[in-house]
Amino acid sequence: MQPGCFWALAAFWAALTWLIPDTGILAREKFWLNVAVVIVIVLIAIFAMIEQKVVGDSTLIIDGFPQPGHDFRAKIETTLDNERTCRFKMRLQVSRPSRRRSSPTWLADVIAQPVRGERGLTIPVEFSIPAGIDAENTSWSLVARSWSFPIPYLATFILPLTPPER
């Protein structure tokens, strides 16, 4: 979540509430409903700022690009500093790009135990990709999540279709 977007939305909604007054039946109720909406958006923006401060940025470092019939190994470096996050659920999935929401052609879930790294917790990633997957014109994504208190961790990485040229 980007807190700046929520702050801008709250400011825009507040400006509309004050600049374009409601008239007629239930005008006062509409005004207070708009004030309540602005308050909720501000609370979401505050939560997003706290989440960004606590979770920080995560970086995916891959050993090689995913290929059918090979193991995919990587690690996620986080700025998390607490050991309370004892396990992460990882999902690697392959899907075909389409205009509509499509179901993945292949997916796998694993549980990973984090280890202490240089900046914070490091999450090892390892998947065995079966050989029978059709990987032509597909997109690969990796999702990592953990239900830790007070803020859950969620990171989504979209892997490029082809390795960048050096």
Domains of the chain, residue spans? 3-55, 59-159
What are the pLDDT digits (tens) for 129-138? 888 887 777 8
Q: Say what the pLDDT of residue 74 is.
A: 93
Residue segments in the chain with a per-residue pLDDT below the cut of 70: 1, 82-85, 99, 101-102, 149-150, 161-166
Q: From residue 45, how far is each of 15, 55, 114 by CA, in Å?
A: 17, 15, 29
What are the pLDDT digits (tens) for 42-62? 999 998 888 777 777 888 998
Q: Say what the pLDDT of residue 99 is.
A: 65
Q: Say what the pLDDT of residue 57 is.
A: 80
Which residues in the chain belong to E strands, given as ranges? 59-62, 71-77, 88-95, 106-112, 115-116, 121-128, 139-146, 153-159
Q: What is the mean pLDDT of the chain?
A: 83
Phi and psi of 25, rounded to 5°? -65, 135
Q: DSSP assignment, residue 26?
A: T
Give the other-Cβ count within 10 Å of 92's Cβ.
23
Could you say which of 2.60.40.10, 2.40.400.10, 3.90.930.60, 2.30.40.10 is the CATH number of the domain covering 59-159?
Answer: 2.60.40.10
Sign of the dihedral defined by the CA atoms of residues 78, 79, 81, 82, in that order: negative
Q: Say what the pLDDT of residue 67 is.
A: 84
| Whether residue 150 has a cis bond before it, omega within 30° of 0 | yes
